[in-house]
Structure 1
């Protein structure tokens, strides 16, 4: 399975998707219009072993809610991601049993290679 969880309004996500140049067998899911399900999040967790890895600490809500001043558990990270799409670190790219989370140059380069 090849899938990219992204935000269509995010310029960085758009740039990365263009760089990957996904073929027609790659499923794109805009997380704003098609909410992440618990099963999808748990599948991502199975590959990363951490909800914190999937969590975006750059999200505006992270500071607005003073979450940066709290000690969050894995369950907290999971519930926050399920509660609001902005808490998912983007993009999340899946290729078979590989997962690539975020937009660092290294991660993107690995994802581009895996998709091709």
Structure 2
């Protein structure tokens, strides 16, 4: 499966931080933390994403470095993309979408014209 980034139009969504960012652990046995190509720790934040019709999804969004956000804050992920993944498991496949963003910032730090709905 090719791993092609799918851009996410964040302007049509409202995001709220549900759980503070934590380093992404890639090996539970060793506690190894995932890093990017430059060696920066990857942090995962749990965000509530709500569309214009009130539909809600919880999404984990990875960023390089710890974003300056806290639970309960309205936030905006910048340059957010999704990647489809698939893992064979016991003769079947599990799949999903993982999300990454260049940064996640509080709405209060964004100019008014660039805020999500």
Normalised by the length of structure 2, the TM-score is 0.22
Rg larger in structure: 2
Select the structure that is richer in helix. Answer: 1
Higher RCO (CA-CA < 8 Å; seq separation 6+): 1
Normalised by the length of structure 1, the TM-score is 0.22
Select the structure that is richer in strand. Answer: 2
